[in-house]
A and B are shown apart, each in its own frame.
Chain A
Amino acid sequence: MAGVHLHVHSAFSFLEGTAWPQRLLEEAARQAIEVVALTDLHRVSGVVPFLEAAAAYGVKGVVGAEVTVAGWGRLVLLAAGDAGYRALSEVLQAAHLHHPRGAPAVEWEDLERWGPELVALTGDRSGVMGRAWWEGGPRLMEERAHMLQRVFPPGRLYLEMTASELPGDRQFHRLLADLGAHRRIPLVATNAVHYPTKADFGLFDLFACIRLGQPVEAVHPERRLNAENYLKRWEEMAAVLAPWPQALRNALALAERLEPPNLLRRRHSPRFPLPAGGDPQRYLTRLVEAGVRRRYGARWRAVMGRVRQELAVIADTGFADYFLVVWDVARWARRQGIRFAGRGSAADSVVAYALGITAVDAYARGLQFERFMSRERRETPDIDIDFDARRRDEVVEYVRRRYGADRVARVATYQTYRRRLAVREIGKALGFPSQELDRLAKSLPEAPLGQIRERWEAIPELRRFRAEAARMRELLRWAEQAEGLPRHLGTHLGGVVISGEPVVAVGPCERSAKGEVVLAFDKRDVERLGLLKLDLLALRAFTAVEAAVGAVRRRAPEFSYEAIPAEDPATYRRLQQGESIGVFQLESPAQRALALRLRPECWEDLVASLALIRPGPIKGNMVDPFVNRRRGREPVRYPHPDLEPILAKTYGVVLFQEQVIAIASTLAGFTPGEADALRRVMTHGRSHAEMARIGEQFKAKAIARGVEPAVAETVFQQLAGYASYGFNEAHAAAFAETAYRTAYLLEHYPAEYFLGLLNAQPMGYYPVDILLVEARRRGVVVEPIDINRSAVAVTQPAPGRLRLGLGMVPGLGSAGAAAVVQNRPAEGYRHPVEVLERAGLDEDQVATLIRIGAFDGITQDRTGLLASLWARDRLGLLPPRGIEPWPWERRVWWDYRYLGFGQRAQFLAPWRRELERQGFLSVAAVRRRPLGQPVRMVATVYRPHRPPTRSGRLVVFLSLYDETGVLEAWLGPQGYQRFGQWLFGPRWPWVTVIGHVRPQGLAIDALRPWRPPRMLE
C-alpha cells in the first residue's frame, strides 16, 4: 500500500530534525511513500534540495511549514500551488520580521489575511488542538476549532491525528474525532516526522537537550517520550491508527490534491531602470562600446569582434539587465571613492572590463568568456566584487535604495555543525564536563570524525584521554552524525539578491543578528530559485590599502596607488626572498616557500603563483615542472603541438581552468559551452563512472580529429587530475593586481603599509604579534599604547614610526577607546582615576590599561597605580615615587597576557642573552646557518596544522618565530607521534626545538615546551 506523510521536519527545523531533505526522501522512497510534505519549523529553507530530491526519487513533494500561532501552539500550513506558496511565504516572513529574532510567531491577523490560501493541519500534542486539550479540555478545543474554521474554508482545515503512540492518544484521538464529527472538520493522519528512521532518535533527543540547554539525564516535558516520529510505512500508520480509517483516507486524498509550487523553473531578474522606453540590450551595447574606446584607445576596433560575441551571448541568455545593474553599482562605488575590484570569473569578460567592473584585460590575456557564461549554461553568471570592508555596507544600502527595500535582501548561509561545535554541544548534552570537552575539541586533528574514531590510538594528542577513550569515541559517534547538518541561519558574507518582484514571492526573509533582512536561502538555492545575486564582498586588504595610501599621501601628496610602477625590481627582489608577510594572497608559508624557488620577476609570475598553491596543481605534481621550466632547468614540452598556443604562457603545464576549456575545444572540437560543461562536470561530479564517461567522449572526439589515442589519453588524464581543484586565470589575474600593489607598498612604504594592516585587523594569515616583528625587522619603530599619545587606531607620529592605538586593547572596544580620546584633557590625563571619571570606563578596563603600560608615560610604577586605582586615591602617586619600574621581561609578559602581542618587543627578546648563553639560536641565526646543519632554538609556535593525506601519514607544518623573524618548520610522521601532544590542544606557546636546516626552513627532530626561567607574575 502506498502512503503519504504530510508533516515532516528536516534538519532545516534546526535542532528539531536530524536529516537533510534528500535523506528523508531516500527513506520515503524506500518505504514506498508517494507524497511527502516538508513542514519545517518557521521556514522553507530546505525547499530547493527537497524539490530536487523529490523529482529524483519520484516522490511528490509538497511544500509547507509548521508555525507557532501566538498563544495557541503549533499549526502545520501546507501550500497548494504557487498562490499557496506565496501566502505561506508571507505568513513566515511576518512571523519573523514582526517578532524578536529567534522567537517567530504568527499573529492572528496574518493568519486571517493569508490563511484562506493555505491548508492547515492542527499539529501533534504541541499543536493548537493538543495545547487546547491540555490547557482547557474539550471546550477550549471546540472554541479554537471554531476560530480556525473562520480562517480556513471547508476542505482547508484538518484535525491532525498522529501515530505517535503516546500515553493519552486514545482519549485525545477520540476527542478529535468527536470534534471533527460535530464541527464537520475532517481528520488527517500524520506522524509528525522529525527523523527518517527509529535509529535516528538518539540524535534527535540529543538535539532536544541542546535546544533545552540540559543534559540528557535530566527530564523535560518537551523531550519526546518515545522514538515513534519517524517515516513509518503506511502499514504501520494504518495499524496504529486502525480505529480511525477516515484519517488515513483523508491524508491520501489531501496529498492527491496538493500540488507543489513551480519554484525551480522561474527567473525573477529585476529590470534596470532605463530612460523611458529604453531597451536594456541596446543601452548595454552603447555603454560597452564607449567603455571599449576608453579602455583600448586606438586599438578599440580590434577588440570589437570579441565584444560583439560576448554581447550576443548576453542577449541570447537575457542577462543585459544583470550587467547594467552591476555596472551601476560599480559606477556608484567609484563616484563615492569606495575602493573595489571585480574578482572571479567575471574577469574573463571584456564586457565587464569595458564597463569598469573588473580591472583585468580579458582580451589581452586571451581569457575564455565561456568560463564566465555561455549559451549552454543559462545560469545567472557570478559577478563578485570586493569592496573596502569599512564601506561595503554603504554599497548594499545603495542597492536597497535603488531597487526598493522589499526587492533586495541579503543571502543567508546555513551554519552547519562543524566537528568542534558538534563535539562541544553533543558532549555537553551527554554530560561531559566543559573543560574536558574544550580539551578534546582543541585536540581534534583535521580529519573526519569517523576517521578519528577509528584511528584514535594513532593520534598522539588524543592519548591524554586514554582513560576515557571508550566514552569519547561514543561521543564522536554521535557528533559524526550531527556533523554537516544545519545548526542555524547566518548571513552570507557578501551575497545580495535583487528581485524584479517583492522578494517574499520567492521566499520569506528573516532578520540577522545585525538586524539586516536576510532571505532564508543560501547562495546555491537562491540561484536555483532564479534570483539575481550579487556578491558584494568586504575585503579588509582594501581597508589596509586605503589606510596605507592615506598615510603615504600625507607625506607624498602626489602618490597614486593606481599609478604604481608596473614592474618594480625592488618589489620583486623582496618577493624572491620569501619576504612577503603582509602581502595580499602571497604571505602564506606555502606562497613564500614557492617564491624562494620560483623567484618571481614579473606580474605573470605572480598570477601563476596564485594558481600554483592550490590543491589541484599540488596534488597533480605540477608545481615542480612549472618551477623547473620557468627557471629553465627543464625543457618546455607540449603533449600535442596544437596545445602550444594555449599552454605556452604556463610552460606547457595546465594551470588555469580556462586552459581546460581551450584544450577541450582545440583538441576534441567541443564548442566552448560544451567544453565548459566538461570542466564543470570534472569540478563537481567526481564519480568514477562519470569521469570515465567524459573521458571516453573526449578521447573519441579527439581521435576523430586525428589525435593519437595515447596523446588523447594523456591529455585527458592531465585535465582530470587538475580540473577538480583548479583556479581560474581571471581570478588569479584579478588577485595578482592587488598582490603586486600591496607588495610594492610593503617594499617602499613599510611603516605606512603596516599601519594599514594593523588598522584593518583581523585579516591575513599572520597575527598582530608577527606583523609587529616584521615591522621592527623592516626598521619601523613601534611605540607602545599611551594614554595621552595614542589615538583609537594606529597612527604615524613621524616618518618610520608607528604609535599603537587604544582600539587594540581587548575589553575596551572601539567605543571605550574613542571615549578615552574624546575626553582627554588638553594637558593630558594625569592619573588613572581621571580616566575612570572622564571617559566612563570601568575599573577593570582602566586596570588593563595600567597593566599594559599605557600610563608608563606618567609613572612606571604600575603596582602603585593599580593600588591607587582600587583605592580611588588620586594623590597617592603624584609625583612619581621613584619605585623601580618592572623588569623588561615582566612588562613584555603583561603585554602578552593582556594584549596578546608584544608592543615593546617580541616575547623572547628579553631572554635572548640567556638563551644565547645556553646555545639556543634565534630565527635569524638559524637562517644564516649552512644547509644540513643541526640547530637548537627556542621559538614561539604559530599555527601548527597537519593537513590530511590519503596515506594517513601526517606531517605537521608550523611557523616558528621570535624577535628576529619567522621560520617555517615541519615535523615528520614519527616526530608527530612523539611530540604532537605539545603542539595541539591546550598548549604552551613556546618550544625548544632541535632540528636541521633545510632550503625551505627547519626540519624538526625533537621539541618540548619551553618555559621562562623566572616567574613573571
Chain B
Amino acid sequence: MRAIEAVWPDRQGRPRGFRWRRRYVRVATVLESWREVRAWWRGEPELRCWRVEGEDGGIYELAQSADGWWMLKVYD
C-alpha cells in the first residue's frame, strides 16, 4: 500500500483522476467500490476503496482513509 501523490475526487468522493508515478491518470470507469476495516484493534483506520479503469487502460485499486489516499493494487 503506497501513498498516492494527488487525487481529484468528484462531489460524492469518487476519484476522477489521480497522479501516480509522476503521471496523471484520468479515471474512465469506476468498476467497483467498497469499504474495508483493517486491523481496527491496532487503531488502523477504515478504508474506502475503489477499483477503477484508467484512460490509460490500467486497472487500479485506490483507497482513501483518514490519513489520505493510497494505492492498493495496480493490474497490468
**A201 lies within 8 A of B40 (CB):** yes
**A228 lies within 8 A of B35 (CB):** yes
Report which B residues bind A (CB closer than 8 A). 31-37, 39-41, 46, 49, 51
Known contacts A226-B46, A227-B46; is A169 also within 8 Å of B41 by CB? no
Does residue A202 face the partner (Cβ distance < 8 Å to B)? yes
Instruction: Select one of A165, A202, A216, A217 contacting B34, CB under 8 A.
Output: A165
Instruction: Given A167-B49, A227-B37, output 8 extra A-B contacts at Cβ < 8 Å.
Output: A165-B35, A167-B32, A167-B34, A205-B37, A205-B40, A226-B37, A226-B46, A227-B35
**B41 lies within 8 A of A225 (CB):** no
Does residue A166 face the partner (Cβ distance < 8 Å to B)? yes
Of all A-B residue pairs in the complex, the 8 with the closest CB atoms, nearest first, are A226-B35, A167-B34, A165-B35, A227-B37, A165-B34, A216-B41, A226-B37, A170-B32
How many whole Å from A481's CB to the nearest CB in chain B?
14
How many whole Å from B72's CB to the nearest CB in chain A?
11
**B34 lies within 8 A of A169 (CB):** yes
Alpha-carbon distance A227/B49, docked complex (angstroms)? 14
Known contacts A202-B41, A227-B37; is A168 also within 8 Å of B46 by CB? no
Alpha-carbon distance A170/B14, docked complex (angstroms)? 15
- 26 example contacts (A-B, Cβ-Cβ < 8 A) are as follows A165-B33, A165-B34, A166-B34, A167-B32, A167-B34, A167-B49, A168-B32, A169-B34, A170-B33, A201-B37, A201-B40, A202-B40, A202-B41, A216-B41, A225-B34, A225-B35, A225-B37, A226-B34, A226-B35, A226-B36, A226-B37, A227-B35, A227-B37, A227-B40, A227-B46, A228-B35
List, in ascending order, chain B residues with CB within 8 A of A165's CB: 33-35
How many whole Å from B18's CB to the nearest CB in chain A?
20
List, in ascending order, chain B residues with CB within 8 A of A607's CB: none
- Minimum CB distance partner of A242 in chain B: B12
Chain B interface, >50% SS class: strand
Chain A stretch 213-228: residues in CB contact (< 8 A) with chain B: 216-217, 225-228
How many whole Å from B47's CB to the nearest CB in chain A?
9
Q: What is the number of residues of chain A that contact chain B, defined by CB distance less than 8 Å?
A: 17
Report which A residues bind B (CB closer than 8 A). 165-171, 201-202, 205, 216-217, 225-228, 430
List, in ascending order, chain B residues with CB within 8 A of A430's CB: 41
List, in ascending order, chain A residues with CB within 8 A of B35's CB: 165, 225-228
Alpha-carbon distance A430/B34, docked complex (angstroms)? 26
How many whole Å from B52's CB to the nearest CB in chain A?
12
How many whole Å from A297's CB to the nearest CB in chain B?
74
- Minimum CB distance partner of B32 in chain A: A170
Most chain A CB atoms below 10 A, which of B31, B41, B46: B41
How many whole Å from B39's CB to the nearest CB in chain A?
8
List, in ascending order, chain B residues with CB within 8 A of A205's CB: 37, 40
List, in ascending order, chain A residues with CB within 8 A of B51's CB: 167
How many whole Å from A889's CB to the nearest CB in chain B?
50
How many whole Å from A226's CB to the nearest CB in chain B?
4
List, in ascending order, chain A residues with CB within 8 A of B40's CB: 201-202, 205, 227
List, in ascending order, chain B residues with CB within 8 A of A167's CB: 32, 34, 49, 51
How many whole Å from B75's CB to the nearest CB in chain A?
14
List, in ascending order, chain B residues with CB within 8 A of A228's CB: 35
How many whole Å from A200's CB to the nearest CB in chain B?
12
- Minimum CB distance partner of A226 in chain B: B35
How many whole Å from A480's CB to the nearest CB in chain B?
16
List, in ascending order, chain B residues with CB within 8 A of A202's CB: 40-41
Most chain B CB atoms below 10 A, which of A166, A167, A168, A227: A167
Most chain B CB atoms below 10 A, which of A170, A225, A226, A430: A226
List, in ascending order, chain B residues with CB within 8 A of A171's CB: 32
How many whole Å from B76's CB to the nearest CB in chain A?
20
How many whole Å from A784's CB to the nearest CB in chain B?
53
Alpha-carbon distance A202/B38, docked complex (angstroms)? 11
List, in ascending order, chain A residues with CB within 8 A of B37's CB: 201, 205, 225-227
List, in ascending order, chain A residues with CB within 8 A of B31's CB: 170
List, in ascending order, chain A residues with CB within 8 A of B33's CB: 165, 170
Alpha-carbon distance A165/B31, docked complex (angstroms)? 13
Alpha-carbon distance A228/B37, docked complex (angstroms)? 10
- Minimum CB distance partner of A209 in chain B: B41
List, in ascending order, chain A residues with CB within 8 A of B36's CB: 225-226
How many whole Å from A1004's CB to the nearest CB in chain B?
42
How many whole Å from B21's CB to the nearest CB in chain A?
25
List, in ascending order, chain A residues with CB within 8 A of B34's CB: 165-169, 225-226
List, in ascending order, chain B residues with CB within 8 A of A225's CB: 34-37
Alpha-carbon distance A490/B34, docked complex (angstroms)? 40
List, in ascending order, chain B residues with CB within 8 A of A166's CB: 34
Alpha-carbon distance A213/B28, docked complex (angstroms)? 44
How many whole Å from B70's CB to the nearest CB in chain A?
16
